[in-house]
Amino acid sequence: MKTLAAQVITPEDLLKHWQGHRNLTRHTIEAFPEKDFFEFSIGGMRPFAQLISELLAIAVPGLKGIVNREVEPFSEKATEKLIFKAQYLEKWDEATAEINKYWEKLSIEDFNETFNLFGQYEFPVNQNILYFIDNEVHHRGQGYVYLRALGIQPPFFWER
């Protein structure tokens, strides 16, 4: 039986918050020079393209799994053939639309249901979604460090 717990933020506001972060991450991708997007690294961290591949492999596949109650293993195969930054931006925009599509299928009760994300992370849906956002913010922060090291002003973090 599904239950409804106390609500602090509406699903609509949570989606708006997440999409605001996604918009800022998109601007961060745009700020990278083509070559550096794929190659620049500091301290053994992955290049930004690899970080974006991870984010693309989490957001829609994770949300789709939650909505359809299908546990699929984590995979970055969808971005293996991307070789241009523009292709990543196109995938990012497609994912943004897909997130909106799947979000509409969530009921308020779904957010408190437990789901085994990628067969590895068994938490309530709301915590899985917060993980999607937190992970994106974390990797965007790495991108900001790269941009500053390249002498490029990153987008202002509040301009979502």
What pLDDT is attached to residue 3?
61
Whose CA is closest to 95, among 114, 113, 111, 82? 82
User: Which 3-state string (H, E, C) describes the chain?
Assistant: CCCCCCCCCCHHHHHHHHHHHHHHHHHHHHHCCHHHHHHCCCCCCCCHHHHHHHHHHHHHHHHHHHHHCCCCCCCCHHHCCCCCHHHHHHHHHHHHHHHHHHHCCCCHHHHHCEEEECCCEEEEHHHHHHHHHHHHHHHHHHHHHHHHHCCCCCCCCCCC
The proportion of the chain whose per-residue pLDDT surpasses 70, expressed as a percent, equals 96
What pLDDT is attached to residue 85?
97
d(CA 9, CA 108): 11
Q: Which residue has the tokens 């925009």?
A: 93
What pLDDT is attached to residue 145?
97
What pLDDT is attached to residue 1?
60
Q: What is the mean pLDDT of residues 39-51?
A: 96
Two structure tokens written together for 3: 């239950």
**For 116, what's the count of Cα atoms within 13 Å in the CB-facing half-sphere?**
6
What pLDDT is attached to residue 5?
64
Q: What is the mean pLDDT of residues 59-63?
A: 96
What pLDDT is attached to residue 159?
82
What pLDDT is attached to residue 157?
84
What pLDDT is attached to residue 80?
82
Mean pLDDT across the chain? 93
Q: What is the pLDDT of residues 80-101, one digit of tens each?
A: 889 999 999 999 999 999 999 9
Return the higher-pLDDT residue of 78 and 19: 19
d(CA 54, CA 112): 25
pTM of the model as a whole: 0.91
Helix 48-68 with 11-31: angle, nearest 10 deg: 160
